[in-house]
Amino acid sequence: MSTATADVADATPPKAAGKKKLIIIVAAALLLVLAGGGTGLFLLKKSRAAAEAEAEETDGKAVAKAKLEEEKVEEKRVPPIFVPLDPFTVNLADRDAERYAQIGVTLQIEDAKVGEELKLYMPAIRNNILMLLAHKTAGELLTREGKLRLAQEIRREAMRPLGITLQLDDEDPPAAGTKKKKKKAPVDYPVKAVQFSNIIIQ
């Protein structure tokens, strides 16, 4: 009987060792599942955060673009500012007959500050425009192209006293055999345009 008890006693430890191994395996598997789930959850949260950040950035860009478009619309709505000049009466450069012109000029400008600055330089501006008109002939002023050219030249002469030089499109064409210069970015000039209120040639 003592031999049977010894056999039973020897048989019990292996069952306990088997249970321990099973518990360790189950615990390790559970730990792996929890670690995998935690990693998956972390990656999911990370990808959600990245997606939200990207969505916010896209929304931010969309909002910035919308604001920029609103500002452009507001700029377009701002009425232009005009500075009318006293009418010019000048003898023209025609050689065949005594001809003169009476021309009313209005400058379209960028803002009121430019208008105040132009008033300070008005004697020089008027002088430049009178000198320009005195070199014109009736034939030049009667054509549409001549009037458009005159408007460009008056714009240039109006900005000279301010220290701004406007290069007209057809001035100084490149010499034959030379490379064309790259187009420069458009410059924002304070005098935007020249409007004629009247042109009388006699």
| pLDDT given for residue 85 in this prediction | 94
Residue spans of the domains in the chain: they are: 1-78, 81-168+188-201
Side chain identity, residue 117:
E
- Residues 103 and 88: their CA atoms lie apart, in Å, by 5
pLDDT of residue 172: 54
**AA letter at 167:** Q
pLDDT the model gives residue 35: 79
pLDDT of 180:
52
User: What is the chain's pLDDT, residue by residue, as a tens digit (202 residues)?
Assistant: 455 454 545 555 556 667 787 788 888 887 777 877 778 778 878 777 777 777 677 766 777 777 777 776 666 677 889 999 999 999 999 999 999 999 999 999 988 898 999 999 999 999 999 999 999 999 999 999 999 999 999 999 999 999 888 887 765 554 555 555 555 556 778 899 999 999 999 9
> What are the angstrom distances between the C-alpha of 54 and each of 15, 19, 58, 68, 163?
58, 51, 6, 21, 48
Q: Is the dihedral of CA 41, 42, 43, 44 positive or negative?
A: positive
CATH architecture of 81-168+188-201: 2-Layer Sandwich (3.30)
Q: What is the model's pLDDT at position 17?
A: 67
> What's the pLDDT at 68?
77
This prediction has a pTM of: 0.57
> Distance (Å, rounded) from C-alpha 138 to C-alpha 102?
11
pLDDT score at 15: 62
